């Protein structure tokens, strides 16, 4: 299908573990030993991060062990899920956990309404109501520092509610979950805080007496290593490698890569929490594929592999119901909903909408080129038995794909700088207008080059 690539560029705020103050400022030094970087940055950063998530990981493991060793019935299992989820939530965000109650309670009434009706009309209304709630909360009623702590959590809760609404509306889920089932799903410690989104039926299978083996420890250990290694790269090692660098574009590349590795940290941490809880379905909990992001075939591949569960959610519940409006309209609507799920933060919204346009332009151009030259140069890799005359191992085809991959890396650096950490020190929170101007300055300093390049590519695709 033409739009199998649709997804969200899922950069969520789940806490900022980066501390540039631990590093010597670029202007003050041009060298630090690996011992210095370990003592001054890696050790304190990793220790602090582990301290912040330790209780959450313990809650996940506790749910697994209690579920496996206590035969107390599914109702008690769901109550345990709620209680341990709240323990994990409070351990990470403290008193701000109270802000999750409103959407959770409101969501059950929405799910109940959708269960009594057929079709997706009520589900679409629920979508509008809940994403508007997130947008309003972004700017009204909560201190910015408090909202930043719970924004990603609220988004996961809303995604769970809406998936249940749509599943009830289309008849995939035929029975209304009991209130304890519903709350257990919403507050399950496996994915309440860092994600990933999982379907309701996957959650329910946690309590169906699945066979347990000790081998789950190996993928859990691997996820933990990848997670904290990514954190070390994003918070310390990248700044050490680029210490003393003055080139604007190299610094842009560094900041964008730091954003990506921060995302890998969260992604692997969310896989770890799922594995500790007992969710071992690879197709459900595999969140990201860093190798396909760092060495991309196309921006389309980056978008798909950035957050695979979110990609699945957006494709099933947002894109497919809106495809009747037309492909381009469905693309924009999907990225718009993604932006609203993130609260319509200007910087992130600009990146998401730019990605929507970029991927559409690239997809359109490469489809035309693949048809004209009968070659495997589409945005997504062709299957081995495709009908193209010139396959991926053809040198010219290979080089064309490399060029598009380099273009994707360039665009990632440009777009990523918009959501990199701001280095402006001030005791007064900026106004909305000041924040927008500060964000736009990041692209203005780069002469809006990526947008200009993609505009030229779009014009070229019209001519072809």
**Among 2-16, 70-84, 226-240, the least confident range:** 2-16
Q: Spell out the residues 6+ positions from residue 43 whose beta carbon is closer than 8 angstroms to its own.
A: none
At residue 25, the pLDDT reads 44
For 104-143, the pLDDT digits (tens) are: 988 999 999 888 887 788 888 998 999 888 888 887 766 6
* Per-residue model confidence (pLDDT) at position 422: 53
At 437, list the tokens.
């101007």
Mean pLDDT (whole number) for 339-356: 87
Confidence of residue 429 (pLDDT cuts 50, 70, 90): low
What pLDDT was estimated at residue 102? 85
Q: What does pLDDT average to over the chain?
A: 86
Residue 281 has pLDDT above 80, yes or no: no
Whether the pTM exceeds 0.85: the reply is yes
pLDDT surpassing 50 at residue 457: yes
Q: Residue 425: is its pLDDT beyond 80?
A: no
Q: Give the confidence band of 343 by pLDDT, cuts at 50, 70, 90.
A: confident
Query: pLDDT grade, residue 91 (50/70/90)?
Result: very high
Per-residue pLDDT tens digits for 196-209: 999 999 999 888 86
- Rounded to an integer, what distance in angstroms lies between the CA atom of residue 192 and that of residue 110? 19
Please determine, for residue 190, whether its predicted confidence score (pLDDT) is greater than 80. yes
pLDDT of amino acid 245? 84
pLDDT surpasses 90 at 435:
no
The pLDDT-based confidence of 328 (bands split at 50, 70, 90) is: confident
Mean pLDDT of 367-393: 92
Average pLDDT for residues 61-89, to the nearest whole number?
90
β partners of residue 390:
375
Give the pLDDT confidence score for residue 146 in this predicted structure: 79
Residue with tokens 């057929």: 118
In the block, residue with structure tokens 């919204």? 349
**Section 275-286 average pLDDT:** 85
Q: How confident is the model at residue 370 (pLDDT cuts 50, 70, 90)?
A: very high
Chain centroid, CA 107 distance in Å: 22
Question: Does pLDDT of 12 surpass 60?
Answer: no
Q: Where in the chain are the domains?
A: 31-210, 295-421+430-464
Is the predicted pLDDT of residue 1 greater than 70, yes or no?
no
Q: Report residue 92 as tokens.
A: 């990470």
Asked if pLDDT for residue 312 goes beyond 80, the answer is yes
């Amino acid at each position: 299908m033409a739009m199998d690539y649709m997804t969200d560029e899922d950069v969520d705020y789940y806490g900022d573990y980066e501390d540039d103050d631990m590093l010597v400022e670029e202007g003050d030094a041009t060298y630090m030993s690996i011992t210095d970087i370990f003592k001054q940055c890696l050790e304190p950063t990793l220790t602090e991060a582990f301290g912040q998530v330790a209780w959450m990981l313990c809650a996940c493991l506790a749910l697994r062990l209690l579920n496996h060793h206590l035969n107390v019935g599914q109702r008690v299992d769901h109550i345990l899920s709620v209680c341990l989820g709240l323990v994990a939530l409070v351990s990470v965000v403290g008193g701000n956990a109270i802000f999750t109650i409103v959407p959770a309670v409101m969501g059950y009434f929405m799910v109940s309404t959708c269960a009594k009706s057929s079709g997706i009309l009520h589900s679409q209304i629920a979508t509008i109501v809940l994403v508007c709630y997130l947008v309003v909360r972004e700017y009204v009623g909560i201190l910015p520092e408090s909202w930043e702590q719970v924004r990603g959590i609220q988004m996961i809760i809303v995604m769970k509610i809406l998936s249940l609404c749509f599943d009830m509306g289309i008849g995939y889920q035929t029975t209304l979950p009991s209130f304890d089932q519903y709350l257990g799903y919403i507050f399950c410690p496996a994915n309440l805080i860092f994600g990933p989104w999982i379907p309701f039926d996957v959650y329910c299978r946690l309590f169906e007496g699945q066979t347990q083996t000790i081998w789950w420890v190996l993928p859990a250990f691997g996820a933990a290593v990848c997670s904290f290694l990514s954190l070390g790269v994003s918070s310390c090692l990248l700044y050490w490698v680029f210490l003393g660098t003055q080139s604007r574009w190299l610094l842009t590349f560094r900041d964008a890569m730091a954003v990506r590795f921060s995302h890998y940290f969260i992604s692997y941490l969310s896989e770890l929490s799922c594995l500790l809880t007992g969710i071992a379905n690879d197709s459900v909990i595999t969140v990201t594929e860093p190798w396909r992001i760092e060495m991309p075939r196309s921006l389309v591949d980056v978008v798909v592999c950035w957050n695979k569960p979110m990609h699945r959610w957006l494709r099933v519940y947002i894109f497919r119901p809106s495809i009747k409006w037309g492909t381009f309209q469905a693309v924009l609507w999907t990225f718009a909903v993604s932006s609203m799920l993130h609260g319509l933060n200007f910087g992130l919204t600009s990146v998401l909408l730019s990605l929507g346009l970029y991927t559409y332009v690239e997809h359109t151009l490469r489809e035309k080129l693949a048809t004209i030259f009968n070659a495997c140069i589409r945005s997504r890799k062709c299957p081995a038995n495709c009908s193209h005359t010139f396959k991926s191992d053809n040198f010219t085809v290979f080089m064309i794909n490399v060029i598009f991959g380099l273009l994707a890396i360039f665009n990632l650096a440009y777009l990523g700088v918009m959501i990199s950490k701001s280095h402006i020190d001030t005791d007064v929170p900026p106004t909305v207008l000041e924040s927008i101007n500060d964000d736009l300055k990041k692209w203005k300093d780069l002469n809006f080059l990526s947008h200009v390049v993609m505009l030229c590519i779009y014009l070229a695709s019209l001519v072809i």
